[in-house]
Amino acid sequence: MGRLEGKSVIITGAGSGIGRAASLLFTREGARLIAVDRTEGVQETVDQVRKAGGTAEAVMADAGSEKDVIAYIDKTLSTYGKLDAIWANAGISGGLVPLFEQTVAQWQEILRINLIGPFLAIRHGAPIMQRQGKGSIVCTASVAGLRANAAGSPYSASKAGVISLVQTAANALTGSGVRVNAVCPGLIETGMTQPLFDAARARGAESRIGQLNPTERAGQPEEIAAAALFLASDEASYVNGQALAVDGGLSSTLPFKTQRR
């Protein structure tokens, strides 16, 4: 029996990176998946899942659109008959535009996808789980929502908002059997961060990637997927309203530099 055996699960942002890694891991653990992304990469993810023997359906949708959120939840119910877990993972970075060069439009789009998207997943997914008496919602936040200087201002603000959202939502759902938690990735090699990794390798500085955390390396999408798998599963039945940092220890301390001999 897999850790998600027989569970009906939605993962947004499933077209690449962490979302794709999670789609493969969750279905290996028995989940029946609705993979959601606004890019055609979501079909490639589903093809990989099916090739590996898993069960999945692809839905192209915008995670920050209420109409699309309602549609992907309806698709889950019509396909699998229930909804056990959602990982609201979709997000955009917005780049590293200096604070005083950022526009309201940039902030609105980042907040729409990164923060309103998880709110909509909770808003429309949790009532179904309440009627079932049980469910888990996982949202992707970031260490950028815990500490400054990990990303640009709008991205960081959106992820701090996600952390607050899971705390307030968990309490709003008191006694319902529905848990809401966040996973906070550190520096992970994905399409979003690829330019940073490519630039470091071009400078011959690959060994310095992730040097500020005590594990002294960057993370991989599969490591974030494993943490979210735990939160989505019944193994985390007493974990609620939490923001789990998966960052090699980066957020455990203030930055410092050691002297090597």
Q: What is the pLDDT of residues 85-115, one digit of tens each?
A: 999 999 998 888 888 999 999 999 999 999 9
Catalytic (active-site) positions: 155
**For residue 199, pLDDT beyond 70:** no
**pLDDT of 204:** 65
Name every residue whose Cβ is closer than 8 Å to that of residue 110 and which is 6 or more positions away in sequence.
Answer: 92, 94, 154, 155, 158
**pLDDT of 148:** 83
**Domain annotation for the chain: domains and CATH numbers:** 8-190+219-246 (3.40.50.720)
Residue 51 three-state SS: helix
Spatial distance between the Cα atoms of 189 and 234, rounded to a whole number of angstroms: 28
Name every residue whose Cβ is closer than 8 Å to that of residue 107 and which is 6 or more positions away in sequence.
Answer: 154, 157
Closest C-alpha to 48, from 22, 17, 24, 84? 24
Spatial distance between the Cα atoms of 21 and 225, rounded to a whole number of angstroms: 6
Q: What is the pLDDT of residues 43-93, one digit of tens each?
A: 999 999 999 999 999 999 999 999 999 999 999 999 999 999 999 999 998
- Give the least confident one: 98-102, 123-127, 134-138, 206-210: 206-210
- pTM score: 0.92
